[in-house]
Amino acid sequence: MQTVKLNNGVTIPQLGFGVFQMDDLDECYQAVTEAIKAGYRLFDTAATYGNEAAVGRAIRESGIPRDQFFVTSKMWIQDYQGTRPQKAIDQSLTELGLDYIDLYLIHMPYGDVFNAWRAMEESYQAGKLRAIGVSNFSPDQVTNLMLFNNIKPAINQLEVNPWNQQQANVLFNQRQNIQVEAWAPFAEGKNQIFTNKTLQQIAQGHHKTTGQVILRWLMQRGIVVIPKSVHQKRIQENIDVFDFSLSETEMQLITKLDQQTSQFFNPHDPEAIETIVNGGRPGANH
């Protein structure tokens, strides 16, 4: 498995496994178990997904040493205020059944993010969290957070896929030595992404699937990626991306597919923000 080193020296696998929308805990447990067997060691969950317990159980029952896994979870908006952040961190540890979390993120850039971040800094310094970061933050929001706090985010988890390539945002984070991690790499199948002619032609040339080409494209951009599937064949397929490379020409062909638009929600739209803060899920609320 390829790895990358975060700005605090912690190493993270470049390819992992996401569990968003795996609401059935038995299904989540089985999917994570299959992913572990296939070779995945990075697992991404969140408090709001409601499946931390299933992820933790699969890891604990795998028989593989804890230090070989990289576990990510996230704090939800309603836990940013007052003393709630520390309680949220401890609750995630309890749900996961783990002594520490490898990466803990602020899930959305709304509400009292400074209060949440300072609690995360304390837990990081106490050894409960090996790295801390953010999710869905724009460059101005990342800059604001960095200027008034002590620890720079190790990761910014963003929606990145062929339809929404986030060229400027990715470049900003890379220049700041903040690792970009892509959620919804397949855009959840929107706009017939798996049957796109450009992606299909590239895939045929490498005897791969369009999904494998998308993952390879992201990894060659230096991005950590966390595809999700509950199907054993696709779980295995998604990790089988280390035996080929895309040419510069192929990378540029995919670049031309960029629609520069979120496939799920506009994080700057007031109505979308209000929906999210009030507990709704506009599109893929990763």
Residues belonging to the binding site for substrate are 107
What is the token pair recorded at 104?
């803990």
* 172 assigned to some structural domain: yes
Residues belonging to the binding site are 107
pLDDT in tens, the chain (286 residues): 899 999 999 999 999 999 998 888 999 999 999 999 999 999 999 999 999 999 999 999 999 999 999 999 999 999 999 999 999 999 999 999 999 999 999 999 999 999 999 999 999 999 999 999 999 999 999 999 999 999 999 999 999 999 999 999 999 999 999 999 999 999 888 889 999 999 999 999 999 999 999 999 999 999 999 998 888 899 999 999 999 999 999 999 999 999 988 888 878 788 888 888 887 554 444 5
DSSP string, 115-162: HHHHHHHHHHHTTSBS-EEEES--HHHHHHHHHTSSS--SEEEEE-BT
Nearest alpha carbon to residue 134 among 68, 40, 241, 46: 46
CATH number at residue 242: 3.20.20.100
Q: Exposed/middle/buried for 69, CB within 10 Å: 0-12, 13-18, 19+?
A: buried
* 178 assigned to some structural domain: yes
* 94 assigned to some structural domain: yes
* 254 assigned to some structural domain: yes
What span, in angstroms and rounded, lies between the C-alpha atoms of 8 and 181? Answer: 16
233-265 pLDDT per residue, tens = 999 999 999 999 999 999 999 999 999 888 888
22-39: burial string, b at 16+ Cβ within 10 Å, e else: beeeeebbbbbbbbbeee
Report the domain count for the chain.
1
* 282 assigned to some structural domain: no
The pTM for the full model equals 0.92
* 285 assigned to some structural domain: no
* 286 assigned to some structural domain: no
Active site residues: 49
Which domain does 79 fall in, by range? 3-277
Q: Which residues pair with 235 in a beta bridge?
A: none
Q: Which residues pair with 182 in a beta bridge?
A: 158, 225
